[in-house]
Amino acid sequence: MSKVLVLNGPNLGRLGSREPDIYGAVDYDGLVKITSSKAAELGLEVEVRQTDSESELIAWLYESVDNGYDVILNPAAFTHYSYAVRDAAVQVTKVGKRLIEVHLSNPHTREEFRHTSVISGVATGVIAGFGVNSYTLALTALTN
Ligand code: DQA
């Protein structure tokens, strides 16, 4: 069974109470449950994690590189400025694995600073704007 790490960046642990008009009513535990049950349905082994720390997120990306895991990454605010996360993310595709950038909201419909992603240029693909379904769509994409 191929393994996928689903990595979530800063503030995503506050889902449900954080701007539900933008990010939806599903809390972080709900996101973990929905993502895990879709992965099981698709026959994928999945581990869902969240961190507010840039260094921890980078360590998890290298864990994927070293073990050959595909990655679904919601870099949250790091999307818009972290060259350090980008530099680690690019290694995932360099070892032949896939990295899908996901967002709950569609950043392009929001403030101008969210229109730039420093991650998209090194991602295999990007899925944004479908709430928690962005994650289940990304899992489906990984089965193809
Ligand atoms: C987000 C969009 C980012 O702009 C924001 O900083 C987040 C969440 C999303 O999932 O829509 O924290 O990545």
Confidence at residue 132, expressed as pLDDT on a 0 to 100 scale: 97
Residue carrying the six token digits 């704007």? 129
∠ Cα 64 93 42 (to 5°):
65
User: Whole-prediction pTM value?
Assistant: 0.97
Mean pLDDT of the chain: 97
How many residues can be counted in the chain?
A: 144
- pLDDT tens digits, one per residue of 64-92: 999 999 999 999 999 999 999 999 999 99
Q: Is the pLDDT of residue 36 over 80?
A: yes
Give the ligand 1 atom nearest the CA of 103. Answer: 10
* Residue 114 Cβ < 6 Å to ligand 1: yes
Q: Which domains does the chain have, with CATH numbers?
A: 3-142 (3.40.50.9100)
Task: State residue 2's pLDDT score.
Answer: 87
How many Å apart are CA 142 and CA 119, to the nearest integer?
18
Determine the residue of 104, 111, 127 to mutate for testing ligand 1's pocket, defined as the one with the most ligand atoms within 8 A of the Cβ atom.
104
Which structure tokens are listed for 51?
A: 């961190």
CA 108 – CA 115 distance, rounded (Å): 5
State the Cα–Cα distance between residues 91 and 11, nearest whole angstrom. 25
